[in-house]
Amino acid sequence: MITSEYLKYHSISLQNTLFIVVFTILPLAFGILSNVLFTSYKGLSEYYLKGEFFLYSVSLISSTYIGYNSVKGNRNAFEGWINKTLLIILVLVSACYAFIISSTNDPRPEVVKVLSFSGFFLSIPLFYYSQFLVNKKSPDIGDYRKEEQKNIKKRLG
């Protein structure tokens, strides 16, 4: 059963995710606006071919990693499948960015487009999930146990 508390966590997580994504891609928005107003806008290719979407992905994935681990309290960077998955994605996206920037030949635009947008759009739900975990209250076991003790004492006494 979906409770209002559960919906509240999702709502806050969605707001946080949208807020962070908007401010993460704000340089892109200003770049596009600048090109539209002062030069000729040639489309998103002038941005993703420079690797900007890889940088946005790395930013969101590293924030996801930090958020997830702040909730889980992991001491080991490779503990758990989510950590391993996030680190693998982080390394792959970073390697793609490094390849594009250091490539002496022009990278194939369609490959760069698919990889950069895939990394970016994959990072958004991962970031949302970490925000959900950060905002979700964990049950207060201490209060729960105190209440149980009161009930037991009441029944015994």
Domain count, the chain: 1
Closest CA to 128 of 20, 3, 6, 5: 20
Assigned domain for 113 exists: yes
What does the alpha-carbon distance between residue 20 and residue 26 come to, in Å, rounded to a whole number? 10
HSE at residue 153, side-chain half, CA atoms within 13 A, is 6
64 in Cβ contact with 126 (< 8 Å): yes
Tens digits of pLDDT across the chain (157 residues): 677 877 888 888 889 888 888 998 888 889 888 888 888 878 888 888 888 888 899 888 888 888 877 776 666 666 777 888 888 889 998 888 888 877 767 777 888 888 888 988 988 988 888 888 777 766 666 666 777 788 888 888 6
26: in domain: yes
- Residue 72 lies inside a defined structural domain of this protein: yes
Residue 151 lies in a domain: no
pLDDT attached to residue 43: 81
Q: What is the DSSP string of 81-98?
A: HHHHHHHHHHHHHHHHHH
Joined tokens for residue 139: 């049950």
Q: For residue 126, what pLDDT is reported?
A: 87
pLDDT of residue 77: 64
Q: Is 119 among the domain residues?
A: yes
Answer yes or no: is 157 within a domain.
no
Please tell me the distance from the alpha carbon of residue 140 to that of residue 151, in angstroms, as a whole number: 17
116 occurs within a structural domain: yes
Question: Which domain range does residue 38 map to?
Answer: 4-137
What pLDDT sits at residue 139?
63
Q: What's the pLDDT score for residue 64?
A: 86
- Is the overall model pTM greater than 0.95, yes or no? no
Residue 149 lies in a domain: no
Give which of 117, 124, 109 is closest to 42, Cα–Cα.
109
